[in-house]
Amino acid sequence: MQPEISKETIRGHTTTIVLNILNQGDSYGYAIAKTIKTLSQGAYEINEATLYTVFRRLEKNGEITSYWGNETQGGRRKYYQISAQGQKTLAHNIEEWHFAKQVIDDLILGRIDADVRKN
């Protein structure tokens, strides 16, 4: 049986996930949702309501901007683009993630040696 990732585990990282995707190029909601599913190898799908909540928050904070694309490929799509502030937030969040991951690895996988047990 393959393990599953809980939505609770991902929830605090949706901003960083979206910023990472937009840092690689402008995109629109449906394409971002598909990219998230692809990057997670199908282990996680973001729901539309969550994604658009993230977009609104990022836009309000000045971390992304949006614009309307042309209609050459069907309906008119709203595209999102990362801003300089968004790139700073992404870099900061990645740094925090690496630190948190190391601490959690230490706490979950770490072994207690005899000296630590005595304290």
Domain boundaries, the chain: 7-118
pTM of the shown model: 0.86
Residues facing 64 on adjacent strands: 82
Is pLDDT above 80 for 114? no
Measure the CA–CA gap between 39 and 47, rounded to whole angstroms: 15
What pLDDT, on a 0 to 100 scale, did the predictor assign at position 9? 83
CA gap 55, 45 in Å, rounded:
16
Are 55 and 14 within 8 A, CB to CB? no
Token couple for 57: 């928050």
3-state DSSP call for residue 71? coil
> What is the domain class of 7-118 according to CATH?
mainly alpha
Lowest mean pLDDT across 37-46, 74-83, 91-100, 107-116: 107-116
Question: Contact at 8 Å (CB) between 59 and 10?
Answer: no
| pLDDT band at residue 58 using 50, 70 and 90 as cut-offs | very high
49: left (phi over 0), alpha (psi -120 to 50) or beta: alpha
